Structure 1
Amino acid sequence: MTGLLDKRKFYIDGQWVDPVRANDLEVIDPSTEEAVAVISLGDRADTDRAVAAAKAAFADWSLTEPAERLRHVERILEIYNRRAPDMAWAISHEMGAPQDMSLGDQVAAGTYHIQNFINAFKEFDFIRPLGDHAPTSMVAWEPVGVVGLITPWNWPMNQVTLKVIPAILAGDTCVLKPSEIAPLSSMVFAEIVDEAGLPKGVFNLVNGDGPGVGTQLSTHKDVDMISFTGSTRAGIAITKAAADTLKKVVLELGGKGANIVFADADDKAVVRGARHCFYNSGQSCNAPTRMLVERSIYDQAVETAARVAQETQVASAHQPGKHIGPVVSKLQWDRIQDMIQKGIDEGARLVAGGTGLPEGVNRGYFVRPTVFADVSNDMTIAQQEIFGPVLSIIPFDSEEQAIEIANDTPYGLTNYVQSQDGARRNRVARRLRSGMVEMNGQSRGAGSAFGGVKMSGRAREGGVMGLEEFMDSKAISGWHND
């Protein structure tokens, strides 16, 4: 273990504690394939201890004034910003986000969400009148209880802040289980929470894997809610595991976003779409991995996307620059390679990239940015989430056909529309079956809810809806108005 960071402890009831039983796991740096740290995977006794701490803390924390909870979160944000370099280092080494992207995007996503929650919380009414027609009927928003938070490795702080911060603000207490593949950033986050002086038991962290701590939280009788981000397969398993306790289950799952590029799209639409697909090495559930292109500009779009792939640099996460880094693990690398080969075998036309490591690379989980043309929507690469820098281009002949292809997927997270015709954009956006639609490269506004439909789950994370997700509503009649 010489040279490895020792991160075996858990954060439970306001202190760092040893696991009840040792169960070491090395954290692998995907740029080098070498271990960078060692953690411990929790056992049921660790999970029970964390849940008990959260349950004990709930009685007092749930009754604190909103202003007090807000002060704690504002303090967390202050320390988070100060610890940004430490957080960026952890993310680069645990999941492979390049140095500059890790600080400027991965860490910054956490800052963005915390600030947006603070803004939304300041305007949040915990007790609201039902309406003018019922002046003594009120709707009260109250904390759910003890919440289990299970987060993925691809955007660690994006997801941790989208869960922990609204839970704390809502008056819940929580147990966080970050991905065992990328746990280091969450341990930095626990240090931040500890320094912020949050009362003991309000926030707890137990490392572990899905079948272990994940299932223990999902089935625990004293956990009132599970908020999970990850694969659709795991989301289904969590739903089944949680059924016997009838706890609230909120899922943010995979995606297979369609990017509909009409002939009148702006000149940068294809470049923008391809870069977005390759961003974070393709490891984003909302990535526009299916590019649907109107037939009259199809050949040019294929040529442009291929050029973007060829120009996309792939290099170590330890280096500065605008390149993409490795994918997170050997398991993921192998799966992506299999999917690329399947695309070739099923008859898609490979126009950039392909299987194997990029030229000049002999270690690390690096994937060549890959573009397939002449993809039909029934191919495996068009239907299954690849979670790598792989773009599938599909031609269409009419608006109706584009909508039909876009909706022909089990997923429904984010779709994209590129057109200069505003009426058509609006019309298409309303017919796309997804939780989000982004048009002409314009990002959703601050505080917008993130979430999907169908097999992408139906979570709504961020802003006011993200706060309400961690609360239950109570209808009260006969309210005395002063």
Structure 2
Amino acid sequence: MLDKRKFYIDGAWVTPAAARDHAVIDPSTEEACAVISLGDQADTDRAVAAARAALPGWRATPPAERIALVERLIAVYTRRIDEMAEAISLEMGAPIDFALREQAGAGTWHMTNFVNAAKDFLWIHPLGDGTPGAMISYEPVGVVGLITPWNWPMNQVTLKVTPALIAGCTMVLKPSEEAPLSSMLFAEFIDEAGIPAGVFNLVNGDGMGVGTQLSGHPDIEMISFTGSTRAGKAISKTAAETLKRVCLELGGKGANIVFADADDDAVRRGVVHMMENTGQSCNAPSRMLVERPAYDRALEIAKATAEGIRVASGHEAGDHIGPVINQSQFDKIQGLIAAGIKEGATLLTGGLGRPEGLNKGYFVRPTVFADCTPDMTIMREEIFGPVLSIMPFDTEEEALRIANDTPYGLTNYVQSQDGAKVNRVLRAFHSGMAVANGQSRGAGAPFGGVSASGRAREGGRWGIEEFCDSKSIGGWVE
């Protein structure tokens, strides 16, 4: 079992102030694979003090030098990406091939996109209203607290750490205690890349402990959090006492509207997207709304696609899905599947219990419900597992009404070959992101939602701006 009890503070691995061991569980085996420490107030204070001491020098470093250090970090990350994939697979169960290609790969993708955006970023520029000497300057917010989840560890760590570094902020990262190993490895990459001591600090802990301590700390100017809507509300309340900026990327309950004129692969594509990462993605298209003339055929395709998805250990090579993160999440998903059955949805495939042949590990059967109604629990709650709910609709207006009838607003999807209809629906979605026909939103596009999904905008130029304060200047001398 790995011993990972130390924290990375002020450029060194240090012993926690008090012994508070926490086992990291391999979800593929249900066995402890590592032990970490949960920090207390003394550890948090030490990390924040290191970040505060490093802030003047780091914020004064020219942006070009900060960008160059991030490029060195990318080089280290790329060279050691196999280690990163192994850590992610071990801690949260992502199949090793998927962990390398998608999970670890997300880190290099985001960091590279941030560097590209930063090279064109105008740190100071004219206001543009014809007033001589009127300028807008982007300044680092200051010391920031970063709280990241377990489901896409490096995706979220790099979406926060990279723009904070580029903007000139110093930081304390608290990764999820469920999946901390990848972040601790990332701290090694930071050290190897030569990021100055105190600029990046890592303290492990839980939400009630270190998470709350960071959120309420008077020397932290901003909290960037990704996780549940419930936790986001708690963080906002705590942070309000110190008037810090709070950026939240929270849950989702994405709708996927499939019109009868959609391409032949639309339904299969939607099912595969839903099941990716074992359904543990906030932007998963978990509600499929199918136009009635195409409904029966869609159910056939959805059933066959789900039944063709293999479930196996995260340590096995191949194209399959792994376990969910822990016993609590497994139990929650089983409860929601039971609710779907009880409330009258048609169980097309999957259902309760583990897949056949898997008696240990937090494995869930890929599950598809049909004939759902908007009021059903499985249509309203974020399940965060491989469970898809399908229902028919008759008109575009009805589909949009159902799609937008949710407290969430992260990502919605539409499938149609009618360009005018696609564009109408994309604009009508009440969400931070909208995607048609399986297309990419583009490198450097912002990721974030509205309403109960939070209003963070992570990625590219928008992600850098999130870690900056804008300063309005008059009397600038050319």
TM-score (norm 2): 1.00
The separation in 1 between residues aligned to 2:299 and 2:227, in whole angstroms, is 31
How is 1:4-403 mapped onto 2 (pairs within 5 angstroms)? Answer: 4-403=1-400
Partner of 2:401: 404
User: Which runs of no fewer than 5 residues in structure 2 stay unpaired?
Assistant: none
Alpha-carbon distance between aligned partners in 2 of 1:313 and 1:116, rounded to the nearest angstrom = 33
* SS of equivalent to 2:313: coil
| Greater CA drift, 132-141 or 72-81 | 132-141
Q: Which string of whole-angstrom CA distances, capped at 9 and with x for unpartnered residues, describes residues 356-413 of structure 1?
A: 0000111000000000001111111001000000000011100000100000000000
Question: Which position in structure 2 is the counterpart of 1:447?
Answer: 444
Deviations 1:457-482 (A, max 9, x none): 0000000000000001011112112x
Deviations 1:76-125 (A, max 9, x none): 00000011011001000000000100000000000000000000000001
Deviates more, 1:408-417 or 1:302-311: 302-311
Distance 1:372 1:442 in 2: 26
Whole-angstrom distance in 1 between the partners of 2:299 and 2:126: 55
1: distance between equivalents of 2:109 and 2:311?
Answer: 27
Q: Deviations over 1:40-91 (max 9, x none)?
A: 0000000000000000000111111011101110000000001101100100
Q: Distance in 2 between matches of 1:62 and 1:376?
A: 53
C-alpha deviation, 1:136, in angstroms? 2.0
Cα distance in 1 between the residues matched to 2:301 and 2:143: 50
| Alpha-carbon separation, structure 2, partners of 1:411 and 1:87 | 32
Mapped to 2, the partners of 1:272 and 1:342 lie a distance apart of 26
Deviations 1:180-216 (A, max 9, x none): 0000000000000001111110000000000000000
Secondary structure of the 2:241 match is helix
Alpha-carbon deviations, 1:100-157, whole Å to 9, x = none?
Answer: 0000000000000000000000000100111143242111000000000000000000
Q: Which amino acid aligns with 2:201?
A: N
Code of the residue aligned with 1:164 in structure 2: it is V
Q: Give the letter aligned to residue 431 of structure 1.
A: A
Provide the rounded CA distance (Å) in 2 between the counterparts of 1:344 and 1:136: 66
RMSD: 0.6
Alpha-carbon distance in 1 for matches of 2:456, 2:329: 25
SS in 2 for 1:292: strand
Residues 222-257 of structure 1: per-residue CA shift (max 9 Å, x gap): 000000000000000000010000000000000000
Q: Distance in 2 between matches of 1:118 and 1:278?
A: 31
Count of aligned positions:
478
SS of 2:111 mapped into structure 1: helix
Q: Which digits, 9 at most, give the CA deviation of each residue in 1:155-185, with x for residues without a partner?
A: 0000000000000000000000000000000
Counterpart amino acid of residue 149 in structure 1:
L
Provide the rounded CA distance (Å) in 2 between the counterparts of 1:399 and 1:67.
49
**In the alignment, does 2:417 pair up with 1:420?**
yes
SS in 2 for 1:245: coil
State the distance in 2 between where 1:369 and 1:312 align: 7
Structure 1 CA distance for aligned equivalents of residues 126 and 397 of structure 2? 43
Cα distance in 1 for partners of 2:114, 2:218 equals 29
For 1:29 and 1:261, locate their aligned partners in 2 and report how far apart those are by CA, in whole Å: 37
Listed as ranges, the gaps of 5+ residues in structure 1 are none
- Aligned: 1:430 with 2:423: no
C-alpha distance in structure 1 between counterparts of 2:322 and 2:3, whole Å: 25
Distance of 1:134 and 1:302 partners within structure 2: 62
Question: Counterparts of 2:266 and 2:127 in 1: how far apart (Å)?
Answer: 44
The letter of the residue matching 1:420 is Q
Query: What TM-score do you get using the length of structure 1 for normalisation?
Result: 0.99
The one-letter amino acid of 1:31's match is S
Task: Give me the whole-angstrom Cα distance separating, in 1, the residues matched to 2:388 and 2:348.
Answer: 10
CA distance in 2, matches of 1:363, 1:460: 39
* Identical amino acids, percent of aligned pairs: 69
Q: Structure 1: how far apart are the matches of 2:457 and 2:326?
A: 28
Runs of 4+ aligned structure 1 residues displaced above 4 Å come to: none
Please give the alpha-carbon distance, in whole angstroms, between the structure 1 residues aligned to 2:440 and 2:386. Answer: 21
| Residue 8 (structure 1) shift | 0.2
